[in-house]
Amino acid sequence: MGNSYDLRKRLFLYLICGIAAMAGLLFGYDTGVISGAILFIRKDFNLTDAMTEGVVSAVLLGAFLGSLFGGRVSDLVGRRKILIGAAITFVIGSLVSAISPNEYWLGFSRALLGLAIGISSFAAPLYLAEIAPFEIRGRLVSLNQLAITIGILASYFVDYSLASTESWRWMLGIGVFPALILAIGLIFLPESPRWMMMRGREFEARKTLASIRDVEKIEKEVLEIRESLVETDSNWRLLFSDWVRPILFLAVGLAFFQQATGINTFIYYAPSILQMAGFKQAQGAILATLGLGFVNVVATIIALPLIDRVGRRPILLGGLAGMGFSLFIQGMTFYLKTDGWLHLLSVSSMILYIISFAISLGPICWLVISEVFPLRIRGLGVSVASSINWASNFFVAITFLTMVNTIGPGGTFWVYSVLCIVAAIFIYTVVPETKGKSLEEIEASLRKTHNVEVASPSGLLVDLEIERFYKVRPKAQHRED
Which of 94, 264, 330, 360 is in the footprint of ligand BGC by CB under 6 A?
264
Task: Report the site for ligand BGC in 132-151 (rule: CB under 6 A).
Answer: 145, 148-149
CB of 90 to ligand BGC, least distance (A): 17
The CB-of-31 to ligand BGC minimum distance in angstroms stands at 6
Residue type, 31: T
Residue 362 Cβ vs ligand BGC, minimum distance, rounded to whole Å: 5
Residue 107 exposed, middle or buried by CB count within 10 Å (0-12, 13-18, 19+): buried
The stretch among 153-161, 171-179, 204-212, 260-268 that binds ligand BGC (CB under 6 A) is 260-268
Closest alpha carbon to 383 in 9, 113, 38, 115: 115
Q: Report the first-to-last Cα separation within the chain, whole angstroms.
A: 24
Segment lying near ligand BGC (by CB under 6 A), choices 245-253, 262-270, 445-453, 462-470:
262-270
DSSP secondary structure of 226-269 = HHTT---S-HHHHHTSTTTHHHHHHHHHHHHHHHHTTHHHHHHH
Residues 6+ apart with CB under 8 A from 32: 151, 152, 153, 154, 155, 156, 159, 267, 293
Give the x/- contact pattern for ligand BGC in 21-50, rule: CB under 6 A. Answer: ------------------------------
Q: Please, which residue, 28 or 107, has the CB nearer to ligand BGC?
A: 28
| Residue 393 near ligand BGC by CB under 6 A | yes
Q: How far apart are CA 120 and CA 415, in angstroms?
A: 30
- Closest separation in Å from C-beta 234 to ligand BGC: 30
Count of residues of this chain found to bind ligand BGC when the rule CB under 6 A is applied: 11
Nearer to ligand BGC, 268 or 373 (CB): 268
Judged by DSSP in three states, 400 sits in: helix
**Segment 266 to 285, residues that bind ligand BGC, using CB under 6 A:** 267
Phi, psi of 133 (to 5 degrees): -70, 145
Phi, psi at 132, each rounded to 5°: -80, 145
The span from the CA of 188 to the CA of 414, in Å, is: 48
Query: Which of 221, 232, 256 lies closest to 369, judged by CA?
Result: 256
Taking the complex as a whole, the smallest distance from the CB of residue 96 to ligand BGC amounts, in Å, to 23
Distance between CA atoms of residues 413 and 402, nearest Å: 13
Q: ∠294-388-98 over CA atoms, to 5°?
A: 55
Can you tell me which of 296, 370, 387, 434 binds ligand BGC, judged by CB under 6 A? 296
Q: Which is nearer to ligand BGC, 229 or 267 (CB)?
A: 267
What is the Cα–Cα distance from 376 to 388, expressed in whole angstroms?
A: 21
Q: How far apart are CA 236 and CA 255, in angstroms?
A: 20
What residues from 326 to 365 belong to the interface with ligand BGC (CB under 6 A)? 362
Query: Max alpha carbon distance in the chain (Å)?
Result: 74
Looking at the Cβ atoms of 149 and 208, the one nearer to ligand BGC is 149
CA–CA separation, 344 and 58 (whole Å):
35
The minimum distance between CB 152 and ligand BGC, in angstroms, equals 6
Position 120 contacts ligand BGC (CB under 6 A):
no
Q: Which is nearer to ligand BGC, 100 or 392 (CB)?
A: 392
Q: Select from 160, 140, 142, 146 the least CA-distant residue to 297.
A: 146
Which CB atom, from 187 or from 398, has the smaller least distance to ligand BGC?
398
Site residues (CB under 6 A) for ligand BGC, limited to 148-167: 148-149, 152
Query: In this complex, which beta carbon is closest to ligand BGC, that of residue 82 or of residue 267?
Result: 267
Candidate ranges 37-45, 105-113, 256-264, 418-426; the one touching ligand BGC (CB under 6 A)? 256-264
CB of 18 to ligand BGC, least distance (A): 18
Please state the closest distance from residue 133 (CB atom) to ligand BGC, in A.
23
| 377 touches ligand BGC by CB under 6 A | no
Which residues here bind ligand BGC, judged by CB under 6 A? 145, 148-149, 152, 258, 263-264, 267, 296, 362, 393
